Each structure stands twice: as C-alpha cells, then as structure tokens.
C-alpha cells in the first residue's frame, strides 16, 4: 500500500510570499515577497529574496514560478491514530458519553494491523493539509505478547511524517496488568528509536482513568524519558471526578505527583482555573488546543487569551480521527480563529498571523523540537508547504496570512516536503498508494465496528471470507 517517495532533493522553492514565522508574533514575522528557500542535504541552506537566493545556488533546480505561498510545515500537537478507522460516529454524544459508546468498545479489539492501516490512512490525510509533524497518543487496551503501537511508527515512516508518539495508558475501564502496560510503552519506545523521524513520549490518558500504581509507574518512566503527553481538564466532569475520588483536580494532582516536571504537552485544558494556569506557567507546560473536537463534543472553549498572557505555549492539534473526524490542519486553523472571535465577540481575539504561529513554531515549541522545525531558518530541517494560486480559493491573495488561515483548502497544497523529501505534489500523496489502501482500510473498519458492537452502517456489511495479506 505504499508507493516510492522521492528521495531528499536539493532545490530552490520560490513563492510570491514566503512566510518564515521567525518573528516574535508582535507583527515582526518575516514576510518575504518574491522569496525563496534553498534546500540542500534535507536542510534549509538559505532563505531570502528569490534573485539573491537563485544566484547563490545556480546549480539547483527551481520549484515554483514566482506565484504561491510558502510556509513551514504544520505541527499537530495532539491526536489519536487509534481512532483512524472509526471516523464519523457518535456526533450527538458529549465527551463522557462518547467515551462509553465509541472509545471504550474499540480499545480491547484494536490490533497492530489496525494501528498500521489506520495511521497510514489518517497520516496521509494530515500530509494533504500540510502537516509534517504530528504528536499521537494511541489509546487502547494492550494485550500480553502483542504490541500494537509500533504499527503507528511503521506507518508514519512510510508516509514520511515526523512523529512524537505515545501510548495513552489507562486502567480504569479496560484494566490490564501493569507489566503489559509497561511492555507497550517499551515496544513503542523501541520502534521510535529505530525509526526515521519518530520520537517516543510517555503517555497517560487522563488522571481520573489512572490508578495509583499506574501513576507511580508513569512517574518512574518520566525519570528515563522526561516527556509527557496527557489530557487535562478537557471537560467539567473530569474536575468533578478527580475532586470526588482524590480530593483535588487533575492539574493539582499532576503537579503534586511530579508529572509536570519535564516537557509536558497537556491536551485541551478547557476547564482550567487561575491556579491551574499558574501551575502551567510555573512548570513550563505547553497546551495543545483542539478547537474542532471541543466543539463537536460540546466540551467548551479554551481560555486562550488568559493562557497567552501568562506566556504559556499554546499549539494546535487536530485531535483524534473520530473526535474531530477530519485530520485537516487548515480547517483547524480557521475554526481556532473563529471560535475565539465569536466567544469573545472581538474580531481581534485571534488573528491570522497568531493562528499560523500556533500551527508552526508554537507547535514545534510545544513538542520541544523548535530548534529543528517550525520556522524557515538556515540550518533547520526542510519541512515546507507550498500553496498554489491555482484554484478559486487562492486566486486572489490580498493578505497571505489570511489566505492560508481562512481561504486555503487541501486542494491548494501543491507541495509538502519533510527533510527535503517531497511527500505531496499537486494535492496528491507520493508515498502512499491510496487506491490500494482504501479497500483494506474499509475491510478493517468493518471488522472493528462489528467486533466492538458500534452503531455503524459498516457493521452491517458482510465481512470478507478469510484474512487478506498484511500490507
């Protein structure tokens, strides 16, 4: 199901607008008109005016005719490939109900092939919207002797994306022996260490879904790998559950237990109070904002302005393939801006440059990789997105920031490069054979929906006799 992708190339990428995202967000972001990015050895060798850059690298081929917009690759700071085969289910549920009716039934029946195929499918969708780095938390109930999460790493390597990968450990609903949980962490860490572009992060689904033994084991893991991916205060019911069972909120408990002492990415954080915000600022916690899933599941609105006033890094996440349903960063950017504007009744609540920073350099900063990706600077990895002015949506670029955030669609993505390797050309994936992927994804989705007992039209489709070969 994979096609051969282009090897890392050396070239000059030219655009009418090059948005480097190298400023401080106060209006100083570098915007080059008729600019270019030179790429050699998978890294950025130069960023500057086109004529000057082309003269420095006369031997390199030029991509682009002087039109279009160039940006850094987008970073999704939170998501779940474990939902890759169950999109479009449970639209009328709030989050707590959605857990019961969608997530909890699939967790015991997910397997390695489903992880691999679901990730191939949804990572390809991400790439088509310009995502080059994604932070994933794969949530499932592990089984002894059958690691599942390495399938995520295998698929990300084939698509060509960078992955910040974690296993969302929990033990309240589908309990498993601690050694099985730790084995899944170890298998994922080993797979990431051997991968081209993946890095392991310790994962914990939520504080209320984690018993004391699991929390203690997670703290021990953080002593070896001081990076944590966790959900915090996504809905009000989480605060109630934590206070009822343990006498404090999830944020209070996480800080008390030392879970916030390393590099922490906290997803959602919709229901945070002043003490929580102070803890985030004190511990350097980064927040992954997922506006689309927060709206679909009626969770609430992130107090973005309050977090930003305290200097807290806030990135964007597309969230899970079922809690959001789309894996489109362009949609996420637009919704993020609109949600803040309508919630605060202010057209200035979140501007297009602000939200583009959240999708690029702030996302990289949240994951601790801003020295390598997130902006167009000499020496950084050549993770690039090129938007063509070739459709009605981008025919008229009055302001390139607004054009990307409010107007652009995946059909406008003319090129995506990761470390100089082109993985998308003219809104078409180069590293995955989609025609071969779709039938296998549908077959596995039928199996998953049937085995999990989901309320799905797919579960009524007769399953194929025999088992198709693993791709």
Query: In the predicted model, is pLDDT for residue 294 greater than 60?
Result: yes
**What span, in angstroms and rounded, lies between the C-alpha atoms of 167 and 341?**
34
pLDDT for the residue numbered 5: 44
Interval 300-327 mean pLDDT: 96
pLDDT for the residue numbered 145: 86
11-72+375-429, which class in CATH? mainly beta
What per-residue string of b and e applies to 73-112 under the rule 16 or more CB within 10 Å gives b? bbbbbbbbbbbbbbbebbeebebbebbebbbbbbbebbbb
Beta strands in 139-270 (DSSP E): 162-167, 198-200, 202-204, 227-232, 263-268
Number of neighbours of residue 186 by Cβ within 10 angstroms: 14
Interval 217-240 mean pLDDT: 96
Query: In the predicted model, is pLDDT for residue 459 greater than 80?
Result: no
CB 17 within 8 A of CB 35: yes
pLDDT for the residue numbered 4: 41
pLDDT for the residue numbered 201: 98
3-class secondary-structure state, position 6: coil
Query: In the predicted model, is pLDDT for residue 1 greater than 80?
Result: no
pLDDT for the residue numbered 85: 97
**What span, in angstroms and rounded, lies between the C-alpha atoms of 240 and 19?**
44
pLDDT of 261-275, one tens digit each? 999 999 999 999 999
**What span, in angstroms and rounded, lies between the C-alpha atoms of 189 and 336?**
32
Quickly count helices (H) and strands (E) in the chain: 17, 18
**What span, in angstroms and rounded, lies between the C-alpha atoms of 153 and 192?**
6
pLDDT category of residue 146 using cuts at 50, 70 and 90: confident
Domain-by-domain residue ranges, the chain?
11-72+375-429, 74-366
pLDDT of 359-373, one tens digit each? 999 999 999 999 999
CB 335 within 8 A of CB 296: no
| The CATH number of the domain covering residues in 74-366 | 3.20.20.140
């Amino acid at each position: 199901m994979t096609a051969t992708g282009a090897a890392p190339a050396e070239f000059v990428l030219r655009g009418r607008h090059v948005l480097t995202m190298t400023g401080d967000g106060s209006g100083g972001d570098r915007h080059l008109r008729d600019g270019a990015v030179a790429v050699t050895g998978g890294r950025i060798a130069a960023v500057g005016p086109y004529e000057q850059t082309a003269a420095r690298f006369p031997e390199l081929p030029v991509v682009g005719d002087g039109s279009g917009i160039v940006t850094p690759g987008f970073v999704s700071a939170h998501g779940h490939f474990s939902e890759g085969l169950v999109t479009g289910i449970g639209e009328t549920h709030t989050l707590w109900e959605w857990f019961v009716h969608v997530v909890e039934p699939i967790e015991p029946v997910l397997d390695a092939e489903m992880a691999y195929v679901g990730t191939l499918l949804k990572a390809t969708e991400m790439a088509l919207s310009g995502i080059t780095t994604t932070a994933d938390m794969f949530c499932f109930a592990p089984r002894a002797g059958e690691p599942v999460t390495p399938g995520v790493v295998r698929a990300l390597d084939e698509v060509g994306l960078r992955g910040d990968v974690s296993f969302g450990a929990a033990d309240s609903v589908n309990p498993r022996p601690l050694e099985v949980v730790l084995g899944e962490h170890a298998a994922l860490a080993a797979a990431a260490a051997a991968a081209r572009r993946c890095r392991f992060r310790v994962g914990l689904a939520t504080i209320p879904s984690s018993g004391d033994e699991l929390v203690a084991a997670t703290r021990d893991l953080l002593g070896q790998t001081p990076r944590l991916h966790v959900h915090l205060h996504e809905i009000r019911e989480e605060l109630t559950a934590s206070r009822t069972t343990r006498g404090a909120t999830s944020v209070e408990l996480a800080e008390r237990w030392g879970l916030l002492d390393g590099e922490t990415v906290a997803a959602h954080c919709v229901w945070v109070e002043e003490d929580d915000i102070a803890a985030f600022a004190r511990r350097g916690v980064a927040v992954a904002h997922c506006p689309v899933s927060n709206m679909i599941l009626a969770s609430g609105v992130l107090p973005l302005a309050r977090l930003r006033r305290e200097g807290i890094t806030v990135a964007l996440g597309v969230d899970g393939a079922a809690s959001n349903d789309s894996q489109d960063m362009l949609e996420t950017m637009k919704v993020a801006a609109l949600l803040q504007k309508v919630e605060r009744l202010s057209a200035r609540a979140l501007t297009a440059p602000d939200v583009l920073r959240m999708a690029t350099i702030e996302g990289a900063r949240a994951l601790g990789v801003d020295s390598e990706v997130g902006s167009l600077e000499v020496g950084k990895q050549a993770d690039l997105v090129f938007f063509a002015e070739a459709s009605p949506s981008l025919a008229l670029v009055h302001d390139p920031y607004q054009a990307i955030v409010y107007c652009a669609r995946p059909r406008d993505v003319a090129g995506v490069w990761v470390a100089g390797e082109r993985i998308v050309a003219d809104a078409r994936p180069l590293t995955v054979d989609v025609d071969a992927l779709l039938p296998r994804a549908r077959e596995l989705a039928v199996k998953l929906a049937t085995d999990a007992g989901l309320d799905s039209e797919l579960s009524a489709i007769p399953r194929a006799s025999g088992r198709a070969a693993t791709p």
